[in-house]
A and B are shown apart, each in its own frame.
Chain A
């Protein structure tokens, strides 16, 4: 029986447990209404819980360990004695045997696989049978145990609620688990990378060409400084030159000048800019913006203007970031008390003087934090640079030349045909770790800025 069918069977048994538990509890409570502690629904939940949870838990564990058990069982049979004793070859033969056992029509590279396939199939069936039987037994045992405990005085509610709370706690721990597993997996792969390539070569080397990695000195062609520069140049310079003035000025206009009706319409329209998928921006940048910028550069007299210029990617990225800057600025300007604004007006200042001298300084922490978050967003942005920026790692100040970024290189490194253990693929994880740490720090700093420097008005 496959695990999906089993899953539904267990859930069905749980439902039956719920119904019978409820019926029994209802009957008993009606017979002795004074002495009852919990509601019938709570007894029912208790029975259903005992029926389904242990069985599901077992099913999860079993589906994780049973492939290994099947493998060991196959290896112990005489048919497997002729297999190569260790390593990749044996694994690939076993893999094919499993495929053949599931689907006898499939072709196989290794003749040995065809010989063990029936053995493999038999072992798989045996273990699947054991697993199904144990799951169902566990479900019935749980049901019997819980059903026998349903009495009017039994405190089902306390137990059910304690379980619910446990489930809630586990759900919220998954967030930590995700963060932790991101960090750990990046760290492990990066550690393997830095065992081959010295960390100083990676962080301070200025030559990046992962296509040819010399086996004697792999660090020589894996210096990431050009990538860091390209990321900084595109994400933190060009994109921000677009996003900060536009975002800030539109926030100011919409909060201070625009009629409420205009504001009600324009604010969601600007927010649509953030909702457009990045792949659409990337396509737009590559198809429309980049050629236009190259023509413009040629007109200005740059002979070798690239059609994958840093400017094209940066400009489009900047437009994408406008709503982030604008909504953060909007919030922090709105948080400045009206009394300060009115005071400034009363002194005879014009609106623009009030905004520049009073509102902006008062809301500066929020605005700065918004900018930091925008930078962190921009340097982590992938699709626009993958589609519009180039793969050539150069250090340049000329926006019409090509530049590459960390995210673009991660995608390029991992989408080749490379095996998982080469320095090339591992380099992607080292780049990922760097990116993770930098965006993490930017976020922490942004939150600190808001917390520390925000003036508490009122």
Chain B
């Protein structure tokens, strides 16, 4: 008897331990994922710079200090051959390999430095410029042995410094990992989300109002219900196929445009919004409706003056969660051609654009070592946005939700 009880208690402990292990392992996986991304990605926000001595008077740049303050400064400096001056300075400072040490966009940094301080033209100066990917690889302990030797020599002299890379937040895609930025993708995401919100929110809320407040129970409304519930579970890639077949090849809308992306995602998250709004409307107690009807309000007045305002926190929470889902979605956008290489941020809704998750996907395909850090950095930005949206949803729910 005692033995049996011991055995049963041992089984009990084992079972409890298995449950605990499942929870801990799942949470551990999440932690592992986040830590991996963070440790990879934080380096992606910074860049290594090397102090490059340039003797401007000796270089004889054909520009005046006055020109540098005009709007044509960029053109004047490019015309005066600033890029060659910078390359020469690099060769002079770092030897034969000098050009390979600095990044291709190093001269644009020098240009900005000149524009902000035109007095540089008349003296020698040390300007911090970004290093090339080869040097970056060598610093991380990879790359070509020859480069590693050069770099370790320079490192001993303390020529390198690590700075936060503002270019990563303000420029668009590029083929060189030291030059890439996420602003283009972020802007594309913004445009796409705008279209999605403008389409999905009104239609979703209005159809929820119809289904909850007006719909008679018959075969037609059952059909609407069934299709909404099923749409919520349709794989997202199917919506991409729909976008391709209907928006691109039937309606001839422009390929890769954020307009089409937004429409496709709107169809995808509409069911989420409808279901959330219906639950929120359902939660408004009938006594409110009865009271309003009792003092002579019409049905439309009851809905728009009383039911909807009370249901709004719930509706907004559902909408934000749906928008967060749309923001992280990749597959349907690949289908409608948003995976093109786009080096210019989009200017309008019909311009070719890409979005943040697709940018992450595109960078993840790149072989260059530098893209690993950039990809993880872009993932961090995406996760920060999603976290902010979810936090807002939770805040709205806790702050405004009324328990009847």
Contacts and interface: CB of A to CB of B under 8 A. Distances in A.
A327 interface: no
B213 to A, nearest CB: 8
A164 B300 contact: yes
Given A168-B209, A172-B224, A352-B16, 20 more contacts: A161-B299, A164-B300, A171-B206, A178-B242, A181-B242, A186-B238, A247-B22, A257-B19, A270-B23, A277-B382, A280-B360, A280-B382, A352-B15, A379-B235, A387-B364, A410-B335, A411-B237, A436-B234, A440-B234, A444-B230
* Interface class of chain A by DSSP: helix
B224 A176 contact: yes
Interface in A270-296: 270, 272-273, 275-284, 286-288
B281 to A, nearest CB: 12
Contacts of A269: 27, 30
A104 B68 CA distance: 33
Interface stretch (A76-84, A115-123, A394-402, A427-435): A427-435
Contact of B235 (A273, A351, A428, A439): A439
Contact of A175 (B16, B274, B375): B274
A169 B208 CA distance: 10
A173 interface: yes
A325 to B, nearest CB: 11
A168 B27 contact: no
A249 interface: yes
B350 to A, nearest CB: 11
Contacts of B206: 167-168, 171-172
24 contacts: A157-B298, A171-B206, A172-B211, A175-B207, A175-B270, A179-B227, A179-B231, A185-B245, A186-B238, A249-B21, A250-B23, A250-B26, A257-B20, A272-B30, A275-B324, A280-B382, A380-B237, A386-B334, A432-B238, A435-B235, A435-B238, A443-B229, A443-B233, A444-B230
A407 B235 contact: yes
A277 B386 contact: yes
A254 B274 CA distance: 30
A393 B140 CA distance: 37
A1 B242 CA distance: 32
A335 interface: no
Interface residues of A, number: 87
Contacts of A322: 26
Nearest to A356: B15
Contact of B328 (A249, A250, A279, A443): A279
B94 interface: no
Interface in A57-73: none
Interface string B193-229: 0000000001100110111001100000001100111
Contacts, number: 242
Given A167-B206, A432-B241, A252 B330 contact: no
Contacts of B238: 182, 186, 380, 432, 435-436
A8 interface: no
* Interface class of chain B by DSSP: helix
Interface in B235-258: 235-239, 241-242, 244-246, 249-250
A313 to B, nearest CB: 14
A246 interface: yes
Give the size category of B's interface with A: 35 or more
A382 B209 CA distance: 33
B11 A432 contact: no
Given A168-B206, A250-B19, A376 B233 contact: yes
B154 interface: no
B379 A280 contact: yes
A185 B242 contact: yes
Contacts of B274: 175
B339 interface: yes
A279 B357 contact: yes
Which of A169, A172, A185, A245 has the largest number of chain B CB atoms within 10 A? A172
Contacts of A303: none
Interface string B30-50: 100100110000000000000
B331 A246 contact: no
A278 B360 CA distance: 11
A161 B215 contact: no
A350 interface: yes
A283 B236 contact: no
Contacts of B331: 278, 382-383, 386, 407, 411
A215 interface: no
A253 B23 contact: yes
B267 interface: yes
A288 B19 CA distance: 27
A429 B241 contact: yes
B382 A181 contact: no
Contact of A353 (B8, B19, B25): B8
A189 B246 CA distance: 11
Given A176-B227, A178-B267, A353-B8, A266 B23 contact: yes
A175 B208 CA distance: 11
Contacts of A160: 300
B93 interface: no
B237 A279 contact: no
A117 B295 CA distance: 65
B210 A245 contact: no
Nearest to A414: B335
Which of B16, B237, B298, B328 has the largest number of chain A CB atoms within 10 A? B237
Interface in B281-302: 298-300
A411 B19 contact: no
B33 A284 contact: yes
A358 interface: no
Nearest to B17: A253
A188 to B, nearest CB: 8
A-B CB proximity, top 3 nearest:
A380-B235, A253-B19, A277-B328
